[in-house]
């Protein structure tokens, strides 16, 4: 059994927000694994569930209670969320207020989306094995094209005009770039590959002179503070191409909110699909939000067939955040060992349901995470 890592500490509190569609199905499995892994490592955890979702919105008119961000920041160490989005709320208002609202109002400026392929059989690339797919997309998470500034002029007329602003602040770009360089210095991948940690900025300063230009200038300034890292640049379109053709050349990709959203779904494909990709919305030292990269998958919801591994790997990121790195590694290894054994849901070629895949991870975890 792993050595106790945090036995001396008071209980850590985690808020669970299952959300919509497959969110509650995958979060139930992530919650079970979290409880089992933390118990094994001596980390005392208290979990409390919150109902914020489309169902709750449609029943009560409430999206996110006004005091929720303050309450979460005061009373909880972290939030573990499922997914938000429901065809009955076509303008996505509840998801905007719950998910983007928490990212903004908790000021979770770094959305960390690891792209790590756990087994050769999950790599979609011909001749590229799992060992070559191990990097992190660091997505700015509070501004950019997600700032919510814009409007409609002459709506409903042939002259209808939509304006959607894209805001980048020096402070926002600088802290994101600094986070990316600091994270790069902690990664095992570059050491294993025998090179300096490499941070690549993905922007479009060739087309977006102002915002893109600011990103490019600030990135180069922050790079000078981190001589132990190698700083590179690639236009975001070419970076998407490089992710597919040469993923092994990447350690950290730093990018803005919208490019990060797109690139991290390409990254999910490199790990076996959206069902496998975890993420952490961070502001170092503050209550942070953990969620799988995928959405509510209305096409699968209610059938018990969604892949819970992305949510379970997200709970591994959460365990690391709570100071239990051994428990975190054990969870990741248990998932990897299920993948190697073919104990997976059907998106990965297996025949298990969501609960069965969660059971398989728990069994591997109990057996010590081994093969
Ligand atoms: P999606 O991620 O829900 O689904 C895209 C595809 O991936 C679908 O074919 C789906 O079946 C598959 N998929 C996703 N998760 C899976 C899993 N765990 N196991 C197996 N297959 C899985 O994206 P979408 O269809 O573009 O969006 C659906 C809804 O989710 C929308 O309302 C969207 O806004 C929302 N959304 C929410 C989040 C979030 O809450 N973080 C993220 C993305 C999309
Ligand atoms: C994600 C999602 C969200 C985003 C949506 C649901 C607003 O796609 O977390 O990747 O674009 O950030
Ligand atoms: Mn997305």
CA dihedral 283, 261, 104, 99 (to 10 degrees): -110
Residue 20 bears catalytic tag: no
Helix segments in 145-198, DSSP class H: 170-184, 189-193
Full DSSP string of 97-133: IIIIHHHHHTT--EEEEEEE--SGGG--STT--GGG-
In ligand 1, which atom is closest to the CA atom of 83?
Answer: 40
Nearest CA to ligand 2 atom 3: 261
Q: Is the CB of 297 under 6 A from ligand 2?
A: no
Tens of pLDDT, residue by residue over 198-231, are 999 999 999 999 999 999 999 999 999 999 999 9
Q: DSSP assignment of 238-279, as one string?
A: HHHHHHHH-GGG-SEEEE-HHHHHHHHHHHHHHTTSGGG-EE
Ligand 1 touching residue 99 (CB < 6 A):
yes
- Residue of the CA atom closest to atom 34 of ligand 1: 85
Mutate to test the pocket of ligand 2, among 22, 23, 84, 99 (most ligand atoms within 8 A of CB): 99
Q: Whose CA is nearest to atom 26 of ligand 1?
A: 295
Q: Is 146 a catalytic residue?
A: yes
Q: Is 274 in the pocket of ligand 1 (CB under 6 A)?
A: yes
Residue 357: CB within 6 Å of ligand 1? no
Q: What is the number of the ligand closest to the CA of 103?
A: 2
d(CA 358, CA 355): 5
Q: Which of 86, 119, 146, 203 is catalytic?
A: 146
Q: Is 26 in the pocket of ligand 1 (CB under 6 A)?
A: yes
Residue tagged active-site, from 55, 107, 120, 204: 204
Each of the 371 residues of the chain gets a pLDDT tens digit; together they read 333 344 445 799 999 999 999 999 999 999 999 999 999 899 999 999 999 999 999 999 999 999 999 999 999 999 999 999 999 999 999 999 999 999 999 999 999 999 999 999 999 999 999 999 999 999 999 999 999 999 999 999 999 999 999 999 999 999 999 999 999 999 999 999 999 999 999 999 999 999 999 999 999 999 999 999 999 999 999 999 999 999 999 999 999 999 999 999 999 999 999 999 999 999 999 999 999 999 999 999 999 999 999 999 999 999 999 999 999 999 999 999 999 999 999 999 999 999 999 999 999 999 984 44
54 within ligand 1 shell (Cβ under 6 A): no
Any ligand 2 atom below 6 A from CB of 293: yes
Domains of the chain listed by start with CATH number: 1-109+283-371 (3.40.718.10), 112-274 (3.40.718.10)
Close Cβ partners of 73 (under 8 Å, ≥ 6 residues apart): 106, 286, 287
Which ligand 2 atom is at minimum distance from the Cα of 85? Answer: 6
The predicted-structure confidence for 148-199, as pLDDT tens digits, reads as follows 999 999 999 999 999 999 999 999 999 999 999 999 999 999 999 999 999 9
Question: Any catalytic annotation for residue 107?
Answer: no
Characterize the bridge pairing of strands 161-164 and 150-153: antiparallel
Known catalytic residue at 265: yes
Q: Indicate whether residue 261 lines ligand 2 (CB < 6 A).
A: yes
Q: 190: which 2 tokens?
A: 């570059």
- Hey, whose CA ends up nearest to atom 4 of ligand 2? 261
- What is the chain's Cα-based Rg? 20
Ligand 2, atom 8, lies closest to the CA of 261
């Amino acid at each position: 059994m792993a050595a106790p890592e945090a036995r001396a500490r008071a209980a850590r509190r985690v808020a669970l927000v299952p959300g919509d569609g497959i969110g509650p199905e995958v979060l139930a499995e992530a919650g079970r694994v979290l409880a089992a892994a933390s118990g094994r490592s001596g980390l005392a955890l208290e979990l409390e569930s919150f109902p914020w979702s489309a169902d709750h919105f449609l029943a009560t008119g409430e999206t996110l209670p006004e005091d929720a961000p303050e309450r979460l920041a005061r009373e909880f160490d972290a939030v573990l969320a499922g997914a938000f989005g429901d065809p009955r709320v076509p303008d996505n208002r509840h998801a905007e207020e719950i998910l983007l609202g928490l990212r903004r109002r908790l000021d979770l400026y770094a959305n960390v989306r690891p792209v790590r392929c756990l087994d050769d059989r999950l790599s979609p690339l011909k001749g590229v094995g799992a060992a070559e797919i191990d990097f992190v997309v660091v997505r700015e998470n509070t501004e950019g094209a997600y700032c919510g500034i814009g409007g409609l002029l002459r709506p409903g007329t042939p002259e209808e005009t939509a304006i959607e602003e894209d805001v980048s602040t020096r402070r926002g770009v600088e802290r994101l770039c600094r986070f990316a360089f600091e994270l790069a210095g902690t990664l095992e991948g570059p050491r294993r590959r025998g090179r300096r940690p490499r941070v690549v900025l993905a922007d479009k300063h060739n087309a977006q002179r102002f915002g893109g230009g600011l990103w490019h200038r600030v990135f180069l300034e922050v790079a000078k503070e981190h001589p132990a890292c190698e700083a590179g640049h690639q236009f975001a379109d070419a970076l998407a191409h490089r992710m597919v053709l040469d993923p092994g050349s990447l350690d950290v990709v730093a990018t803005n909110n919208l490019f990060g959203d797109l690139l991290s779904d390409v990254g999910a494909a490199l790990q076996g699909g959206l069902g496998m990709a975890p993420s952490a919305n961070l502001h170092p030292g503050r209550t942070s939000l953990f969620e799988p990269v995928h959405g509510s998958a209305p096409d699968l919801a209610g059938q018990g067939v969604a892949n819970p591994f992305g949510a379970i790997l997200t709970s591994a990121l959460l365990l690391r955040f709570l100071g239990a790195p051994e428990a975190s590694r054990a969870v990741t290894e248990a998932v990897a060992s299920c993948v190697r054994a073919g104990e997976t849901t059907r998106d990965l070629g297996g025949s298990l349901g969501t609960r069965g895949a969660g059971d398989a991870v728990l069994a591997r975890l109990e057996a010590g995470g081994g093969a």
